[in-house]
Amino acid sequence: MFTGIVSGVGTLFSRKGATYTIACPFKRKSLEEGASIAFDGCCLTLVDIDKGKDKGAVVTVDVSNETMAHTTLGAWDVGQAINLERALALGEELGGHIVTGHVDGRAKVVSRYPDGDCVRFLLQAPSDIGRFIAPKGSVALNGVSFTVNEVDGQRFGINVIPYTLTHTTWGDRQPGDLVNIEADLLARYAARLAQAEDSSTQPKDKKS
């Protein structure tokens, strides 16, 4: 479980097929094999950990075909900067919103423009995800928790503050980029419950 509050930025060190090696800023002793980290919002299991430079760690993860098909990981190149979040520990502050690390798909950056010291982004959600996005609701994009400003069909806007621009990879995002999107878990369950309630009120076919 995660909260969408990035705790560091890593770099893709190497890639061999579906095995990725990522340089992380986290201390080697603080990581364990089998633990989970969210990489650009995608929850992956650490299968190997080595000591890296500057007291950091180099971790290895395996990426499934399912993950490749629904996230941006298939397009990553060596040197790619990656938002990282350690799994939430019991008793820690819930700074963003509940994020599972189960990416729903890829959203497209439509535009970006300055708004004072901040930057506003307009994004296009996948056709099956837009209904879970609501104004003033939450959405996770490349592992970062954002408040939705406005919604127009499948398009929605977010406002990125200076701190997030400099401490995550969002400062580099440009129109045309694809980002991992995870819809708010509560919105998903609310939609499912509403669907179930609606189907239960439909008239039953009479038996002849």
pLDDT tier at 192, thresholds 50, 70, 90: confident
Ranking 47-51, 59-63, 183-187, 202-206 by mean pLDDT, the lowest is 202-206
Query: Sign of the C-alpha dihedral, residues 23, 3, 100, 123?
Result: negative
Q: Which pLDDT band holds residue 203 (cuts at 50, 70, 90)?
A: low
Full-model pTM: 0.89
8-86 against 105-194: fold identical: yes
User: Over 70: is that where the pLDDT of 143 sits?
Assistant: yes
Q: Which DSSP state fits 73?
A: G
Percent of the chain with pLDDT over 70: 91
pLDDT in tens, 148-170: 999 999 999 999 999 999 999 99
- Give 105-194's CATH code, choosing from 1.10.3720.10, 2.40.30.20, 1.10.1760.20, 3.40.50.2300: 2.40.30.20
User: What CA dihedral angle connects 165, 43, 126 and 170, to 10 degrees?
Assistant: 10
Give 27-77 pLDDT, tens digit per residue. Answer: 999 999 999 999 999 999 999 999 877 678 999 999 999 999 999 999 999
Q: What is the pLDDT of residue 197?
A: 67
Question: What are the structural domain ranges in the chain?
Answer: 8-86, 105-194
Of 50 and 200, the one with more pLDDT: 50
8-86: in CATH 2.40.30.20: yes
Angle ∠(41,43,46) on CA atoms, nearest 5:
130
